[in-house]
Amino acid sequence: MKKIYETLDAINKTGWVPNIKVIQGVSSDPEVTIDGKKVLLLCSANYLGLANDREVKNAMIEGIEQYGLHPTGSRLISGTQDIHLKLEKEVADFKKQESAMLFTTGTMANIGTIPALMNLPLVSILSYLKLKFFSNGSHIFSDKLNHATIIDGCKLSKGKTHVYKHIDMGDLEDKLKKVGKNDRKLIVSDGVFSMDGDIAPLPKLIELAKKYDAMLMIDDAHGTGVIGEKGGGISEYFNISEGIDIHMGTFSKSFGLLGGFIAGNKKLIDYLKISARTYIFSGALWGSISFAVLKSFEILKKDKERLNKLKKNSNYFRDGLKRIGYKVIDGDTPIIPIFIGDEIKAIKISEELLNRGILAPSVRYPAVDKGESRIRFSIISTLTREQLDKTLNTLEIIKNH
């Protein structure tokens, strides 16, 4: 324990330790309460405003009445309820895939699926001989800015992980060329990158996956419900119906609830259900949550104004930041960081924003590389134009001080 305490002391001395803010009451609306003071929430992934929607809350209450609280079992024992199957069909249809499976969180989906794809069980002498004499093993090719849960999934895999430069398809191909033709290969990438808000070059990823006989997995946690004409995610954004082997997503952002999913062809899902350890050895997703997620799907499909408002708000805020002189990445997503660099400076700007009634914590090492700290704004559809203007005016004042 001594080394742990010494490490904690050293971390505390950097001044980088997050000062976690406690929200009183609802934490998903555009305006929340911290220390009795109303502040604007500019860091929420409640993109479509469904986390506190009356219809979704009523569905959650009805779901509890119908399905109780937790199923108190894993999906393979006693935890599978009919509502799980209904939601899995909804997810598969939404993603235009044959099948889907639910996880308790998006994190569990990533750290369960990636090892299951790469750590194939040796179920016969033939499979052992093939692996030993005809292949050098398995290889994962992961974008440098992939989400931490992808990185953790890679670490739990027996395959070798090759990290390619962020959205650099030339570097990815160079790395693909260096592994054996008969080796097993997985390319994994965020669809929308959570720290920068940019979008993966899906057509090129599909092209390289086909060329080098690699599986392609896309983490569409920040894209599902957000990009594409109907919120279908990255495949809809690029109008591509085939080429992604493994679709991952989460219900904790656009859908305003909890849970993760994997969608793909039926054989893939059948295999993952008996190999993904976070599915096999974890309690099932609450039936009541599944019931409420179905309501969120219903709202997403019928209420197009939510998605339109999200896009309008995001474009307005991004353009406003440029106008007042901040460096931002062009894009079509609601994740909009302003790049500060120095960790302490980023912390001070975040504190100044809070003092002026805006919650937008700084993102710093180890979430991003040292010297790449930023304030990451997440725009939601329920923010008003007046609230966005207040934030922009405050940022302009801080910038000019």
* pLDDT one-digit tens code per residue, 195-215: 899 999 999 999 999 999 999
- Answer whether the bond into residue 334 is a cis peptide, omega within 30°: no
pLDDT, one tens digit per residue, over 34-75 is 898 999 999 999 999 999 999 999 999 999 999 999 888 999
Residue 355 pLDDT more than 70? yes
- The reported pLDDT for the residue numbered 342 is 84
Beta strands in 44-153 (DSSP E): 99-103, 138-143
- The reported pLDDT for the residue numbered 29 is 84
Average pLDDT of span 6-33: 83
- The reported pLDDT for the residue numbered 2 is 87
* Minimum mean pLDDT range among 64-78, 129-143, 183-197, 282-296: 129-143
CA distances in angstroms from 283 to 7, 105, 259, listed in the order given: 34, 11, 12
For residue 156 the two structure tokens come to 């739990």
Q: Tokens 């609280």 map to which residue?
A: 69
Residue 124 pLDDT more than 80? no
Average pLDDT of span 70-85: 93
pLDDT, one tens digit per residue, over 98-107 is 999 999 999 9
Q: Which helix (H) or strand (E) holds 323?
A: helix 304-323
Give me the chain's average pLDDT, please.
92
Of the candidates 196, 217, 168, the one whose C-alpha atom is nearest the C-alpha of residue 328 is: 196
pLDDT, one tens digit per residue, over 286-339 is 999 999 999 999 999 999 999 999 999 999 999 999 999 988 988 899 999 998
Of the candidates 53, 40, 47, the one whose C-alpha atom is nearest the C-alpha of residue 334 is: 47
Domain annotation for the chain: domains and CATH numbers: 2-41+304-400 (3.90.1150.10), 55-301 (3.40.640.10)
- The reported pLDDT for the residue numbered 28 is 81
- The reported pLDDT for the residue numbered 130 is 55
Query: What is the band of 347 on the pLDDT scale with cuts at 50, 70, 90?
Result: confident
CA distances in angstroms from 199 to 146, 256, 333, listed in the order given: 11, 22, 8
Query: Sign of dihedral through CA atoms 81, 85, 90, 92?
Result: positive
Residue 95 pLDDT more than 90? yes
Query: What is the band of 122 on the pLDDT scale with cuts at 50, 70, 90?
Result: low
Q: Mapping DSSP to helix (H, G, I), strand (E, B) and coil, where does residue 281 land? A: coil
Of the candidates 368, 369, 345, 349, the one whose C-alpha atom is nearest the C-alpha of residue 359 is: 349
Q: Angle 372-377-382 (CA atoms, 0-180°, nearest 5)?
A: 170
For residue 184 the two structure tokens come to 């097993």
Which residues, 6 or more positions from 170, have their beta carbon under 8 angstroms from its beta carbon?
A: none
pLDDT above 90 as % of the chain:
74
Strand order in the sheet with 362-363: 335-341, 373-378, 362-363
- The reported pLDDT for the residue numbered 271 is 96
Average pLDDT of span 14-36: 84
- The reported pLDDT for the residue numbered 380 is 96
Residue 350 pLDDT more than 60? yes
Average pLDDT of span 181-190: 94
Which residues, 6 or more positions from 87, have their beta carbon under 8 angstroms from its beta carbon?
A: 102, 290, 293, 294
Of the candidates 192, 209, 212, the one whose C-alpha atom is nearest the C-alpha of residue 200 is: 192
Average pLDDT of span 82-96: 97
Residue 19 pLDDT more than 60? yes
Average pLDDT of span 141-163: 95
pLDDT, one tens digit per residue, over 234-251 is 999 999 989 999 999 999
Q: Which helix (H) or strand (E) holds 261?
A: strand 260-264
The Cα 91–Cα 89 span in angstroms is 5
Q: Which residues of 194-213 are buried (b: 16+ CB within 10 A; e: fewer)?
A: bbbbbbbbbeebbebbeebe
pLDDT above 70 as % of the chain:
96
Query: What is the band of 377 on the pLDDT scale with cuts at 50, 70, 90?
Result: very high
Query: What is the band of 177 on the pLDDT scale with cuts at 50, 70, 90?
Result: very high
